[in-house]
């Protein structure tokens, strides 16, 4: 059985993340979307809320589950018996950081490999921070995040949904 983890902050999950989740879930038996409890970032959503939003978004993909973790990624991978780490590459600017991370993980645990998915072109520019900034200023974020997440993000900024009805 091939089990992979897809780690990240997911604050919040975007359509770019969902694209990677859908594609990765087709090539492994089980994919665990793994939400990092990261004390060095100040998140908009609690880990519990991020896990809940992800669960809602992946509920129709049977071989995907969602968990949170803290500490070293390779330790978490081992604890759930995963052999593969999935990451998305949006642009060349991601490459150096991702290469360094995958090589560090490789040194820490030689049994765990990283597989990279190139992000689909329509989501190549996306990041959770830009979604938050756009929402903060009242922009339409329906092209950036999955449907169940839209309202949650606006609620955080005390805004009503702002969809561009002409589109």
Q: Nearer Cβ to ligand COA, position 68 or 162? A: 68
41 among known catalytic residues: yes
**Catalytic residue chosen out of the listed positions 50, 87, 90, 132:** 90
**Catalytic residue chosen out of the listed positions 41, 59, 151, 163:** 41
**Catalytic residue chosen out of the listed positions 9, 17, 25, 132:** 17
**DSSP 8-state class, residue 119:** P
Contacts of 162 (CB under 8 A, 6+ apart): 138, 139, 140, 141, 154
Report the run of H or E that residue 146 belongs to, with start and end: none
Residue 165 beta carbon to ligand COA: minimum distance, rounded to whole angstroms: 26
Residue 107 beta carbon to ligand COA: minimum distance, rounded to whole angstroms: 10
Binding site for ligand COA (CB under 6 A): 7-9, 11, 14, 16-17, 20, 36, 72-73, 88, 90, 101, 104-105, 119, 123, 126-129
Give residue number: closest CB to ligand COA: 16
Residue 110 is encoded by which pair of tokens?
Answer: 């030689």
Q: Which residue has the tokens 């900024």?
A: 157
Q: Starting at the edge strand that comes first in sequence, how are the strands of the sheet with 30-36 ordered?
A: 64-69, 30-36, 3-8, 84-89, 113-118
23 among known catalytic residues: no
- Crossing angle of the two packed helices 147-156 and 47-57, in degrees rounded to 10: 150
Residue 60 beta carbon to ligand COA: minimum distance, rounded to whole angstroms: 19
């Amino acid at each position: 059985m091939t089990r992979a983890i897809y780690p990240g902050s997911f604050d919040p999950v975007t359509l770019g993340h969902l694209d990677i989740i859908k594609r990765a879930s087709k090539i492994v038996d089980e994919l665990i979307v793994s939400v990092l409890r990261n004390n060095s970032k100040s998140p908009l959503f609690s880990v519990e809320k991020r896990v809940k939003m992800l669960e809602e978004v992946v509920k129709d993909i049977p071989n995907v589950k969602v968990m949170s973790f803290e500490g070293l990624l390779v330790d978490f991978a081992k604890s759930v018996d995963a052999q593969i780490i999935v990451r998305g590459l949006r642009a060349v600017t991601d490459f150096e950081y991702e290469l360094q991370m995958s090589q560090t993980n490789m040194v820490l645990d030689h049994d765990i490999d990283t597989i990279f998915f190139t992000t689909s072109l329509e989501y190549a520019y996306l990041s959770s921070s830009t979604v938050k900034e756009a929402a903060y200023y009242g922009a339409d974020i329906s092209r950036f995040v999955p449907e169940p997440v839209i309202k949650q993000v606006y609620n955080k900024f005390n805004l009503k949904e702002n969809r561009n009805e002409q589109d």
